[in-house]
Amino acid sequence: MKVKAEASAWPDDRMEVRTFGHALEVDARGKGGPPPMALILTSLGGCHFALLKHVLRLMKIEWGEIQLRVEAEETETEPKVYTQVHLTHEITGQGLSEQRLLLAVAMAEKYCSVSIMLHNAGGRGNLRRPGPGSRTPDAVTARPTLYAQIRILTLPSSTRTG
């Protein structure tokens, strides 16, 4: 399937990106909209979250609410790239099994396209490896390490689950 995205830019740091009939204002400095790198984290969270909900339903795990937080560490030098990405899941429900939830999170991680692309980014696609004497930092070719953790909260028996 071919996917298309377009962008328009203004003289300041703002730009508009369009895909699938939707537009989003992006700002390189994060003042008039999210910076482009933050959209990678948002995409990772959305992909992972959608798959996690699907896997939980397939496994017939009832849950009340899921909160997903995505945080990243980036290099201090330009070009700034993510070196570590942390996904924290807070799942509420009754009788939740940590082992089954860990399996569900692992399955979501395994099939999340954004996660796979981040993992494979080191030295693949259009990324160029720095040559001898290059001023480009080695971080450009580094794969970000993805960490996932879960926190289970138990709900009272009268709470409706998803």
Alpha-helical runs (H) found in the chain: 36-58, 98-111, 113-120
Q: What is the pLDDT along the chain (162 residues), one digit of tens a residue?
A: 888 989 898 888 889 999 999 999 999 888 889 999 999 999 999 999 999 999 999 999 998 889 999 998 888 988 888 888 888 888 888 888 989 999 999 899 889 999 888 877 753 333 233 344 444 333 334 456 666 677 777 666 554 445
Token duo for residue 73: 């560490």
Is residue 39 within 8 A of residue 114, CB to CB? The reply is: no
Half-sphere exposure of 118 (CA within 13 A, CB side): 28
- Which residue type occupies 2? K
pTM of the entire predicted model: 0.75
Q: Give the pLDDT confidence score for residue 124 in this predicted structure.
A: 34
Cα-flanking dihedrals φ and ψ of residue 79, to 5°?
-75, 135
Q: In what order do the strands lie in the sheet with 5-9?
A: 5-9, 14-19, 22-27
Angle at the Cα of 100 from the Cα atoms of 96 and 106, rounded to 5 degrees: 130
For 146, the 3-state DSSP assignment is strand
Instruction: Please tell me the predicted confidence (pLDDT) of residue 132.
Output: 46
For 110, residues 6+ apart whose C-beta sits below 8 A from its C-beta are none
pLDDT at residue 155, as a whole number: 64
**What pLDDT, on a 0 to 100 scale, did the predictor assign at position 135?**
42
Superfamily per CATH, domain 35-154? K homology (KH) domain (3.30.300.20)
